[in-house]
């Protein structure tokens, strides 16, 4: 009797473990989406205060798909943290960057992986099929930590902001193309994704 009971418990445990590890079960576990108002509140945090209320916010519906949570009247678009991600990350960028950003998201949905995503976007930009900003365009982000809806803060998140200037390089800007601690530098110089990096230390 004891052996049969032990065997039954073992079968149940194995069955539950297998059920939790199936793709459907994993998807269900990762499908938890925070309420829209919390997504909006956290998504706009990287921005200067005066730009937050007018920003457009993209977030996730209960189906896990990206959608527009708030249509803003300002110049910035913010992206809520991905519920399927393994860390808190929100970013806000100038509306002129939306074609470039949206194309990247579409390619990833199609299964295109980095760095091929950039390779495709670079080819399309150079061919004139992908619109790029005509003037410097800023992006702000917060990464890591956790958002606390009761305080509206993201304790422990690391700030970063960059200024996109397509095709910029050291010659056109006077900035180094080498990462520098405590000073701005250009990442992806000479490409459609060229941008000045700023890593705040405050």
Phi, psi of 156 (to 5 degrees): 85, -5
CB 175 within 8 A of CB 184: yes
CB 36 within 8 A of CB 59: yes
Q: What is the DSSP letter of 157?
A: P
Q: What CA–CA distance (Å, rounded) separates 187 from 97?
A: 16
pLDDT tens sequence across 51-100: 999 999 999 999 999 999 999 999 999 999 999 999 999 999 999 999 99
pLDDT tens sequence across 12-60: 333 333 333 333 333 434 458 999 999 999 999 999 999 999 999 999 9
**Model confidence at 182, in pLDDT bands (50, 70, 90)?**
confident
């Amino acid at each position: 009797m004891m052996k049969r009971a032990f065997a039954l418990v073992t079968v149940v445990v194995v069955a539950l473990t297998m059920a939790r590890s199936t793709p459907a079960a994993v998807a269900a576990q990762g499908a938890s989406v925070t309420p829209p108002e919390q997504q909006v509140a956290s998504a706009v945090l990287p921005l200067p205060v005066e730009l937050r209320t007018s920003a457009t916010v993209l977030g996730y519906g209960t189906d896990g798909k990206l959608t527009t949570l708030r249509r803003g009247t300002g110049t910035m678009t913010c992206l809520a943290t991905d519920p399927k991600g393994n860390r808190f990350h929100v970013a806000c960028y100038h509306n002129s960057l939306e074609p470039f950003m949206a194309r990247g998201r579409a390619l990833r949905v199609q299964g295109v992986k980095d760095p091929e995503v950039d390779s495709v976007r670079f080819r399309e930009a150079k061919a004139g099929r992908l619109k790029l900003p005509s003037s410097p365009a800023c992006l702000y982000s917060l990464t890591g930590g956790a958002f606390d809806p009761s305080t509206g803060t993201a304790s422990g998140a690391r700030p970063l902001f960059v200024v996109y200037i397509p095709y910029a390089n050291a010659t056109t800007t006077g900035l180094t193309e080498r990462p520098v601690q405590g000073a701005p530098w250009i990442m992806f110089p000479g490409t459609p994704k060229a941008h000045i990096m700023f890593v705040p230390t405050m």
